[in-house]
Structure 1
Amino acid sequence: MTFSSNNEFTSRALSVLRIVSAYLLIQHGAAKLLGFPHVAFFDGLQIFSMLGAAGILELVGGALLLIGLFTRPVAFVLSGLLAFAYFIGHASKGFVLSPMLNQGEAAVLFCFVFLFIAVAGAGVWSVDAMRLAKKGA
């Protein structure tokens, strides 16, 4: 059994990667904007701040990715957001040391997962796939 990019199993695995990554990102946005899960660092967060803007992108972009709507452009924007988050929030704590030591591993991993999704697409379990199938029918 080979696993090509057209393989049904591969497309399902891509969908699972997108859904799980989106779910995790939504938690970051929800913590910033909704206070759940509670993270003391975000207490009193101003919505018109860099962290507030990041929270909006995480919550709205994460929700769009979760359902697989406008996946490629949303994932590309989120990849940029996470690259920005790494260089602003983590690399300043010791870029040379490594993401493991400056607590930037999640930002780097999210960045490249979303960049992959931007290139690969949403997978079979998505609104994008349903819209494409309906358009082709």
Structure 2
Amino acid sequence: MTLNTLDAWAPRMLSVLRIMTGLLFLEHGMQKLLSFPPGGSHPAFLSLPWFSGFLELVGGALIVLGLFTRPAAFVVAGEMAVAYFMAHAPRNFFPVNNGGDGAILYCFIFLYLVFAGPGPWSVDARRSGRY
């Protein structure tokens, strides 16, 4: 495979990264709010964990679809930064020891999407006529 072929696929792979990250993030919200897949807690309505689940459910769905991707990614990147510093960082300085590596990865992938956009396979791209 030549470098030109790989470069041609870069925008599509941005869409794949967005979709897969959004699906994994959506799963966290579904588990918190809808108890699916089983195993999550069911937080009290309007509690901080409930708002977290709501942002994960709605933000994850918007990111999967590529609809309002940049603002949705900005909000959930912020949520993940707050989650890291509130829930993980107090446990231990090192992310591998405090369980916060997932929150950090989500935060930076979403921050990347704020600047890179959704890629060609998205509702945003379709609406803008760019691809």
| Distance apart, 1:3 and its partner CA | 7.9
Name the structure 2 match of 1:37.
Answer: 37
Name the structure 2 match of 1:46.
Answer: 44
Name the structure 1 match of 2:18.
Answer: 18
Q: 2:83 aligns with which of 68, 85, 90?
A: 85
Name the TM-score, length of structure 2 as normaliser.
0.92
SS of 1:92's equivalent in the other structure is coil
Identical amino acids, percent of aligned pairs? 46
State the superposition RMSD in angstroms: 1.6
Name the structure 2 match of 1:68.
Answer: 66
The answer to whether the Cα contact below 8 Å between 1:33 and 1:47 also exists between their aligned partners in 2 is no
- Post-superposition CA distance 1:28-73 (Å, at most 9, x none): 0001000111225x14x11211110010000001001100000011
The answer to whether the Cα contact below 8 Å between 1:29 and 1:57 also exists between their aligned partners in 2 is yes
SS of 2:90's equivalent in the other structure is helix
CA distance in 2, matches of 1:2, 1:111: 30
Name the TM-score, length of structure 1 as normaliser.
0.88
Name the structure 2 match of 1:9.
Answer: 9
